[in-house]
A = this chain, B = another copy of it.
Amino acid sequence: MPKLVVRSFTLSLDGFSAAPGQSQEAPFGKDGLRLMNWVFATRHFNAMYGRPGGVEGVDHDFMAKSDENIGASIMGRHMFGPPPDTKDKAAWKGWWGENPPYHHPVFVLTHEKKASIAMEGGTRFTFVNDGIESALKQAFTAAHGKDVRLAGGADTVRQYLKAGLIDELHLVQVPLLLGQGERIFEGLGGVEDLYECVEFTPSQAVSHLRLVKKKP
């Protein structure tokens, strides 16, 4: 059965996945982009953008695995953008340039009605206005038997977690403080009965954790 998975989703030591103050220069909010330093260091990340270099090892391996067998993605409105300081909001096509590193259908949860956008390299952004279950259904159809990746952000992951719709989460704990921002683990009493942590694999920089839905 295809799964809904979260992969390489990063949390600060104090539990935040993005800081307040998102802008064009700061997709993860003020000083938030350093959450992603472990990603930027990997060979896999560099290869995604056609660049040489980057390190091998635990973090690279988890990054590479994050893209395996994914047929479609789902993301929330803030992860897609545009951020508040964008001048021409109608022209916004995401943060990732003309050839985004998805290369498959991406479903964006939003209240805005908008035509889908076809990008280079196989990525197509489709805007879903009728809720998380509809987006999931559309994503599974588009994934043609592969898994669907829930890309983020925190608010979107939390909604799917609360609904018990996620099959597996790979989370990454980074040893730095953001102070404030968005959490996935907030108001989720009972989640401890639904999910269990089955893997703890630290690298030199971060801790990788894998949570799976408990068998009923």
Partner-B contacts on A (CB < 8 A): 13-15, 31, 171, 173, 175-180, 183, 185, 188-193, 195-197, 200, 202, 204-207, 209, 211
Least CB separation from A15: chain B residue: B15
A133 to chain B, nearest CB (A): 23
Least CB separation from A211: chain B residue: B177
A59 to chain B, nearest CB (A): 13
The answer to whether A175 and B192 touch (CB under 8 A), given A13-B209, A15-B14, A185-B15, is no
Alpha-carbon distance A193/B14, docked complex (angstroms): 13
Alpha-carbon distance A209/B174, docked complex (angstroms): 10
Contact B188 A179 (CB under 8 A): yes
Contact A13 B171 (CB under 8 A): yes
Chain B residues near A185 (CB, 8 Å)?
Answer: 13-15, 177
Number of copies: 2
Chain B residues near A206 (CB, 8 Å)?
Answer: 200
Chain B residues near A207 (CB, 8 Å)?
Answer: 173, 175, 202, 207
The answer to whether A179 and B202 touch (CB under 8 A), given A13-B197, A14-B185, A15-B185, is no
Least CB separation from A204: chain B residue: B200
Chain B residues near A191 (CB, 8 Å)?
Answer: 14, 177, 179
Q: Count chain B CB atoms within 10 A of each CB in A175, A180, A195 and give the residue with the most.
A: A175
**CB-defined A-B contacts under 8 Å, sample of 20:** A13-B171, A13-B173, A14-B15, A15-B185, A173-B173, A175-B197, A175-B207, A176-B192, A176-B196, A177-B191, A177-B195, A177-B196, A177-B211, A178-B192, A179-B189, A179-B191, A179-B193, A180-B188, A180-B189, A200-B204
Chain B residues near A176 (CB, 8 Å)?
Answer: 192, 196-197
Alpha-carbon distance A176/B209, docked complex (angstroms): 9
Least CB separation from A184: chain B residue: B14
